[in-house]
Amino acid sequence: MTDRRIRVRFAPSPTGPLHIGGVRTALYNYLFARHHGGTFILRIEDTDQARYVGGAEDYIMDSLEWAGIKVDEGVREGGPFAPYRQSDRKEIYHRYADELINRGDAYYAFDKAEELDRLRQEHESRGETFNYGCTTRMNMCNSLTLDQEAVKQRISTGEHYVVRYRMPDNEDIHFSDLIRGDIVVNTSTLDDKVLYKSDGMPTYHLANIVDDHLMEISHVIRGEEWLPSLPLHVMLYRSFGWEAPLFSHLPLLLKPTGKGKLSKRDGDKMGFPVFPLYWPYGETASGYREEGYFPEAFVNMLALLGWNPGTEQEIFTMDELIAAFTIERVGKSGSRFDPEKAKWFNTKYFQMKSNEELADLFMPIVKEKGFSPDASTLVKIISLVKERTGFVKELWHEADFFFVAPETYDPDVVRKRWNADSSLQMRELREVVAGVQPFTSEILEKTVKEWIVSGPYNTGTILNLFRLLLVGASRGPHLFDIAGLIGREETLRRIDDGISRLSS
């Protein structure tokens, strides 16, 4: 297969917010397509009307856009194989269902839901499972057991029917998966799946195969949960006489404990999102975007959950991922999701950004708090606090004292540091600070430290108290940098306010 013909698709069903496992599937498809100079298609599989959730389709597209996963052909983009939403392709599937019936590989079934339920329950009570397939189909109400006239009659009077695939009896089917290797399944273990319903809607299996064929998909890269459907899909390709695409089933994303599939509940319990964006409908859910993750960091983290570059490199730009990505390096076993590692990635990207970039991102937050510093002041502030966090939204917490004087003082620090001598010490410090010329961080530091060592006071005591008065707590970057930045007047005011509040 030449590179030019590589066409892959991400084919989500709009049944709710897109799980990060789904974003990873989209990402691997995208990386694979770009690596080979191929095409990445987004197809919306919305034939299951009962599970359709409004807003989910836009959510999927917005999520990919945020993550920087660019769709070449899709609902929004259009393309030579439009439409890309299955409900808009409804007319297409009917004739393929007919074709299978005509070939004898599918049949009409008229069994009522109640009858099927009854059979299921009856089997269950015996500890068995009811399968509509080679051992049962000849006892059921379908076009294999009814005569042709009766079938015609039922269809023409509008009786509800489904079209089922007629799985051959006791045949080994061989196929392969690029990640899992060769697989053999005996058809007797498979049931006769419903492909089409008389309401004019295909099921996932038929629509998926027909569209992958019509859209000339070369590689199907999807989650492991679709592996059980693969034998049926392989059979459908065979029945139609079409060349099947190459398949790759990606390993699951596992809970942080390593056991079982990562779920929303894990995220809720441990306080991390399992969705890319905030989900605003019904049971709302948090998203990586709103939690303050950079899309580049999010994508980098996801890329390494299931794929490895074969080197120690962990930080990859999208272009580097595209260059390095191959299916051969996708593992077979599930990847444990680690929320701390997600934070680690974001912190790395945060630290890699320039002070100017971070200041630009921080400015709207500062403005919202009611302050309008000039850009260069903000850049300076960033340079002082950058190392203390990995998230823009935590910057305010690290830097609020540059803008707001303390009104209260951490009681633990007060208890530990403020005593009968403190007022006098701070009044003397005030005089020293008032005389510093020019008022810069360096000169202030030099002057204050010289004053301390030349007198009776302990350096730690004085500096801890000074910090308490400037910040209200024992946190923050280099003390003299804080004073230098807020300036002499503000420094003196905070010392005065602190003395009067704490000594009263």
Could you list the residues that contact ligand GLU (CB under 6 A)? 11-13, 45, 204, 208, 222, 226
Residue placing its CB nearer to ligand GLU in the complex, 226 or 344:
226
Q: Give the nearest distance from C-beta 414 to ligand GLU in angstroms.
A: 58
Strand 335-336 vs strand 253-254: parallel, antiparallel, or unpaired?
parallel
| Cis amide prior to 228 (ω within 30 degrees) | no
CB of 208 to ligand GLU, least distance (A): 5
Which residue pairs, CB below 8 angstroms and at least 24 apart, start in 305-314? 305/24, 305/253, 305/335, 305/337, 306/24, 306/28, 306/250, 306/251, 306/253, 306/330, 306/331, 306/335, 307/28, 307/331, 314/348
Q: Which residue has the tokens 């068995």?
A: 128
Report the C-alpha gap between 327 and 497 in whole angstroms: 64
**Three-point CA angle 389, 392, 394, nearest 5°:** 55
CB of 47 to ligand GLU, least distance (A): 9
Least Cβ distance, residue 25 to ligand GLU (angstroms): 7
C-beta of 219 vs 467, nearer to ligand GLU: 219
Considering the complex, what minimum distance in angstroms separates the CB of residue 94 from ligand GLU? 20
Query: What's 339's DSSP letter?
Result: H
Q: Identify which of residues 108 and 196 has a Cβ nearer to ligand GLU in the complex.
A: 196
- Catalytic amino acids? 264
Nearest-angstrom CA–CA distance, 163 and 203: 10
Rounded to the nearest 10 degrees, what angle do helices 479-486 and 375-385 cross at?
170
Q: Is 348 helix (H, G, I), strand (E, B) or coil?
A: helix
Q: Helix H segments across 68-215?
A: 90-102, 113-125, 148-156, 204-214
Closest of 441, 280, 269 to residue 339, by C-alpha: 269
3-state helix, strand, coil in the chain (%, to 5): 50, 10, 35
Residue among 244 and 384 whose Cβ is closer to ligand GLU: 244
Between 23 and 385, name the residue whose CB sits nearer to ligand GLU: 23
In the bound state with ligand GLU, the residue whose beta carbon lies nearer, of 11 and 244, is 11
Closest approach, Cβ 45 to ligand GLU, in A, equals: 4
